[in-house]
Chain A
Amino acid sequence: MRALLTMTAVDLRRRLRDKSVLIFSLAVPLALMTVLNLLLGGVSEGDLEPVDLAVSSDADDQLAGVVVDALASTGIVDVTVTDSDDPHADVGAGSADLGMVVPSGFTAALTSGEPAPVQFVMGDGAGLSGQVLVTVAQGVVEQLRGASVAAVAAGAAGLEPDRASQLAQQVLDAQAQVQLTQGEASSEQLSTGGMLIAGQAGLFLMFTVGFGVLGLIAEREEGTLVRLRSMPVRSSTIVAAKALTAFVLGVVATGVLLTVGSVLFDVDFGAVPAVAVLVVAAVLAATSLTFVVVRLARTAEQANVVQSIIALVLGMSGGAFFPITATGLVGTIVDLNPIAAFTRGLGITSGGGGLDAIGLPVAIMLGFAAVCLLLSRLIPNRGVAA
């Protein structure tokens, strides 16, 4: 144990002294986080913008009022409704974001089964909110048309007007059970900023742990591995010291990145114990991968190239540069990516999940670690054997 700690302490001192670990594990990812947040931070997140809606309709048209009320009470878009004689002009003048023209005789047309086209005028400021409102309006009109058709059908079938009216109301009530509510696409989804912080932390973790285990190859090239192996130290202790160095560097660097990132970009990753478990699991997964790289590479240069390729592939597919959504087989493969699992786990914790909620991502990362360690024992050694 003493030899293990001695070797780890010297390894850490050397890594900190040459400053490369500080640059690649902290400075570069923080800089990238900043740049990517500036580029992507405001594009795909945030609440729907409020909309000024200019409506032209007959004042005494009942169903037109229903449509307007439906738009004003969606719950997801803050709508300010103003009556307008000419929505086209209002939108064109910029006094409204969205215009809606309900044709004269709208209620009569619907109840008689006649076409009653509602026109929308999209202004430059309507954006996604405007599209949402149009979709909602179309849905409401279709509901009304269904109810009207039911009433007309009932009348045609010889029902009493009151009974036909009840049927129509039942149709409307049934439709009303489908409600719009604003929610997250997934309970595991981080904000764009949080996604980038987590992804960058995961990506650079892959590089950071390389400063530990891949040091075995550097030791061989420096000639010091032969000396270490001639000393009263087990070979397994030499390897364990490199792994411990990687682990310490990985945990510290990832912890710092998440902390600094959350402060700089106002992201809350949730309960610290759960986040810590995710970090440890991610570091174990990343460290175990370097054992495979050590087996594959003959030189430090080869090892760095292989490690960089793997890190970038896992990082990109794990959402380090932009959010990734995939389905089917690709989605399954992406799900097994430890960086994706790490990111997903942080999504859970940021949404309030605790230790009991992160079992799956932790299991994926530990499973990845186990597979890598197994592979490292099975792959013939092309590089360094400690």
Chain B
Amino acid sequence: MGQDGTSTDVVQVQDVTRSFGDLQAVAGVSLRIAPGETYGLLGPNGAGKTTTISMIAGLLEPDSGTVQLCGEPMGPRHTKIRSRLGLVPQDLALYPDLKGRENLNYFGALQNLRGKELRARVDEVLEVVGLADRAKDPVKEYSGGMKRRLNIAAGLLHRPALLILDEPTVGVDPQSRNAILESVEALSGEGMAVLYTTHYMEEAERLCDRIGIIDSGRVQAEGTRDELIHLVGELDQVRMDGTGDLTAATDALQQVPGVQRVDPVGGGLVCAVADAPVHLAAIVTAASAHLELSDVEITRPDLEQVFLHLTGKELRD
């Protein structure tokens, strides 16, 4: 892995900035992605995700800072290196009047694939996204999910070193979404670096080896899921419903090792604890001494809570 900035990193983004007039969209973003790594870039709308992706994809020139793909400079003027990039834009980038296979033939040809190699790659990616049997149909006859899958296939044709997936599952049915996520997992397993943006936290938790949370044009935090949760100090929550002496139960729970806070909620109590499964037995024992418990529930912090903690916004804002 290249988390420390080794020469094996597929992408190296170093302190890039970009402004549009008075608006500074990106105020110094740095990130690295290693081969086989899936990096999730999460942020609320207007956080600078799209501008960052545009600079990584070579569509925009940074005002300052550098972007390197496979060790070579990346930007609007660097044409050849783009053959190592596969971009799956958020908006569908397909010709609806062309057939599925014709779309792929066209994009493959522009990626310098020819003849048998092109045909083989087209067949292969059609299988990967599950559209082999609809390849001869015009794209305008596809469902939304099928278009999304073909959109991804077009980015995979040339086996890019980096695949950028910008919210690839927006508006797709659960079946297509699952197919897309499985495809991404398979690609990552084959050694492809993936930069993934999404508004669905469960996708990020399932797919991403590391996650960067971006807001106000800066990466506010970066790491694995557990690292991020630990970083922001989020605690497990143990909720206990029951009847009895809540005050005495609170006093008893505050003596249990690991319990950092006890709050009354509704007719029960909620304990904030560092590692709930480890301390659960002691917590229930202490509470049972003063309460007749009717329900116990553990809630572990997730990325949604981390995101809210870091940005003050819901991910879907």
Q: Chain A interface (Cβ within 8 Å of chain B)? A: 2-3, 6-7, 10, 14, 17-18, 222-224, 226-235
Listed by A's residue number, 14 A-B pairs whose Cβ atoms lie within 8 Å are A3-B110, A6-B110, A7-B110, A14-B97, A222-B96, A224-B95, A226-B89, A227-B87, A227-B89, A229-B59, A231-B83, A231-B110, A233-B82, A235-B76
Chain A min CB distance to B95 (Å): 6
Residues of A within 8 A of B59 (CB): 226, 229-230
- A231 near B109 (CB under 8 angstroms)? no
> Is the CB of B31 closer than 8 A to any CB of chain A?
no
Chain B min CB distance to A103 (Å): 81
**What are the 7 closest A-B residue pairs judged by CB atoms, nearest first?**
A227-B93, A223-B91, A230-B87, A223-B93, A232-B83, A232-B82, A224-B93
| CA of A231 to CA of B81, assembled, Å | 9
The residue from B79, B92, B98 contacting A234, defined by CB atoms under 8 A apart = B79
Residues of A within 8 A of B107 (CB): 227, 231
DSSP majority for the A interface? helix
| CA of A226 to CA of B50, assembled, Å | 12
| CA of A3 to CA of B94, assembled, Å | 18
Chain A min CB distance to B126 (Å): 18
Residues of B within 8 A of A229 (CB): 59, 76
A230 closest partner in B (C-beta): B87
- A14 near B89 (CB under 8 angstroms)? no
A235 closest partner in B (C-beta): B76
Chain A min CB distance to B94 (Å): 7
> Is the CB of B128 closer than 8 A to any CB of chain A?
no
- B83 near A226 (CB under 8 angstroms)? no
Residues of A within 8 A of B91 (CB): 223, 226
Residues of A within 8 A of B80 (CB): 232
Given contacts A226-B91, A229-B59, A232-B111, 11 further A-B contacts (CB under 8 A): A223-B91, A226-B89, A227-B87, A229-B76, A231-B82, A231-B107, A231-B110, A231-B111, A232-B82, A233-B82, A235-B76
Residues of B within 8 A of A10 (CB): 95, 98, 102, 106
The residue from B82, B94, B97 contacting A230, defined by CB atoms under 8 A apart = B82
Number of A-B contacts (CB under 8 A): 67
| CA of A222 to CA of B107, assembled, Å | 15
Residues of B within 8 A of A223 (CB): 89, 91-94
| CA of A7 to CA of B154, assembled, Å | 16
Residues of A within 8 A of B92 (CB): 222-223
B86 closest partner in A (C-beta): A230
Chain B min CB distance to A226 (Å): 5
| CA of A234 to CA of B76, assembled, Å | 9
- A226 near B110 (CB under 8 angstroms)? no
| CA of A231 to CA of B78, assembled, Å | 10
B112 closest partner in A (C-beta): A232
Residues of B within 8 A of A7 (CB): 110
A225 closest partner in B (C-beta): B93
> Is the CB of B85 closer than 8 A to any CB of chain A?
yes
- B109 near A232 (CB under 8 angstroms)? no
| CA of A10 to CA of B97, assembled, Å | 11
Chain B, interface size category, equals: 20 to 34
B88 closest partner in A (C-beta): A227
- B79 near A6 (CB under 8 angstroms)? no
> Is the CB of B57 closer than 8 A to any CB of chain A?
yes
Given contacts A227-B154, A230-B59, A230-B82, are A14 and B98 in contact (CB under 8 A)?
yes
Residues of B within 8 A of A231 (CB): 82-83, 107, 110-111
| CA of A230 to CA of B163, assembled, Å | 11
> Is the CB of B58 closer than 8 A to any CB of chain A?
yes
Chain A min CB distance to B109 (Å): 5
- A233 near B85 (CB under 8 angstroms)? no
| CA of A17 to CA of B139, assembled, Å | 14
Residues of A within 8 A of B155 (CB): 227
Residues of A within 8 A of B106 (CB): 6, 10
A6, A223, A235, most chain B CB atoms within 10 A? A223
The residue from A3, A6, A18, A234 contacting B97, defined by CB atoms under 8 A apart = A18
Given contacts A228-B110, A232-B79, A232-B112, are A14 and B95 in contact (CB under 8 A)?
yes
- A17 near B93 (CB under 8 angstroms)? no
B59 closest partner in A (C-beta): A229
Residues of A within 8 A of B79 (CB): 232-234
A2, A7, A229, most chain B CB atoms within 10 A? A229
Residues of B within 8 A of A222 (CB): 92-96
Residues of B within 8 A of A230 (CB): 57-59, 82, 85, 87
Residues of B within 8 A of A6 (CB): 106, 109-110
| CA of A90 to CA of B87, assembled, Å | 90
Residues of B within 8 A of A224 (CB): 93-95
- Interface set, chain B 51-91, CB cutoff 8 A to A: 57-59, 76, 79-83, 85, 87, 89, 91
Residues of B within 8 A of A233 (CB): 79, 82, 110
A221 closest partner in B (C-beta): B91
Chain B min CB distance to A214 (Å): 16
| CA of A6 to CA of B107, assembled, Å | 10
Chain B min CB distance to A236 (Å): 10
- A17 near B97 (CB under 8 angstroms)? yes
| CA of A235 to CA of B75, assembled, Å | 12
Chain A min CB distance to B42 (Å): 21
B80 closest partner in A (C-beta): A232
Residues of A within 8 A of B58 (CB): 230
The residue from A3, A14, A226 contacting B93, defined by CB atoms under 8 A apart = A226
| CA of A2 to CA of B154, assembled, Å | 19
| CA of A230 to CA of B85, assembled, Å | 7
B166 closest partner in A (C-beta): A226
| CA of A230 to CA of B87, assembled, Å | 7
- Interface set, chain B 99-138, CB cutoff 8 A to A: 102, 106-107, 109-112
| CA of A231 to CA of B96, assembled, Å | 20
Residues of A within 8 A of B154 (CB): 227
Chain A min CB distance to B150 (Å): 12
